Amino acid sequence: MIDRSKVWTGSLNERVLDPQPHRVVGLYDTTLRDGEQSVGVVLAPEDKLEIAKALDAAGIDRIEAGFPRVSEDDWRAVELVVGAGLRAEVWGFSRAVQADVEALVELGVPASVIESPISDGKLDALGVSRETMLERITKAVSFAADAGIRVAFFGVDSSRADLEFYRRAYEAAVEAGASEVVVVDTIGIATPEAAAYLVGQTVDWLGGEIPVHWHGHDDFGLGTAAAIAAVQAGATWVQGTVNGMGERAGNADLIEVALALEALYGIPTRLDLTHARELSMLVQQRAGTPLPSWKAVTGDALFTRESGAVAAQFHDPPAIEPYSSELVGADRGIVLGKKSGIDSIAIAAERLGLDVPEERRAELLAAVKKLGTEKRGLVTDAEFGKLAGNG
């Protein structure tokens, strides 16, 4: 659990939220597989191993090492992660195809998602009937379970499937040996209310004893909200990626989900959020996918202030921030530019050890604003030093 003294969200959420579940929510990371589906991203096996170790150090519960039959590199990556001796559980990924499962057995992967399309739209596109797909699900899951692999059935496009067939597919998978199931919003169409409904129905249909995961995408910007609604409805696992990487608009951002669950809903995870920034940066660097500076939780500008009005309150973090920068391993800072104020000048001068008498601050502020406007950007420390007559 996070340190609640470092969360400054007021009492509104507590007033309007019903009592929340207090069980620990497991975090299942699929950055190495689903995250790599981001356009143009290629992670080498060694990159995946480095990311897996960082995920493990941050307290991620489960790491999906990948889909070994995709390529030799993916095979090697799974091999490396399985053999790394991580605390986290290492999972694989397989279609409802026996050869995929055989690859996992050969690599010694102890657990795996087994996926199968279940929406009529997907089945029609593949030219496969419902009954044929049920047979494939049953055969693949039973083969994996008989081989000693712990299976989570993953119904592709769950959120657009016919509900009666959805129920048949999930019940068939459990009967065949799946010990967990994943509710899947493949193209990110589920509202939070729909996510809660489908998860709740799944929990009820399967008797409440089968762990239910939520796997959602962010095509409508509701990835985090849908994941939280799924947890409130009974999901005990959330699948997602670091930085929200993934196909199209990406997956639910697992770091963002974890902070929202803990800080806003009081629902615990085992993620050490002080690793958030370094983990985010590692994935950005290895994947070559920089984030916008205003990105929630891990954006560079989240605890950086240019506004003079805000700089006047900089000494009092709860006045201008919803939670402490320390929670997510970030630094606070003031930058200079068009929007700076008198207090910005004083703070910057003190940080840089510059002698700027109070009577000169207004003049220096005008010069900073002018330069920032001309540059259409920030004034650097070196430029500020020159303006102050110290450079």
Q: Give the length of the chain.
A: 391
CA 161/CA 220 separation, integer angstroms: 19
Residue type, 180: E
Helix (H) or strand (E) segment spanning residue 258: helix 254-259
Look up the pTM and report it: 0.94
**Is the separation of the CB atoms in 165 and 130 below 8 Å?**
yes
Q: How far apart are CA 229 and CA 42, in angstroms?
A: 32
Pair 311, 339: CB distance under 8 Å? no
Q: Which domains are present in the chain?
A: 4-287 (3.20.20.70), 304-387 (no CATH)
Per-residue pLDDT of the chain (391 residues; tens, 9 = 90+): 789 999 999 999 989 998 888 899 999 999 999 999 999 999 999 999 999 999 999 999 999 999 999 999 999 999 999 999 999 999 999 999 999 999 999 999 999 999 999 999 999 999 999 999 999 999 999 999 999 999 999 999 999 999 999 999 999 999 999 999 999 999 999 999 999 999 999 999 999 899 999 999 999 999 999 999 999 999 999 999 999 999 999 999 999 999 999 999 999 999 999 999 999 999 999 999 999 999 999 999 999 999 999 999 999 999 999 999 999 999 999 999 999 999 999 999 999 999 899 999 999 999 999 999 999 999 999 999 999 886 5
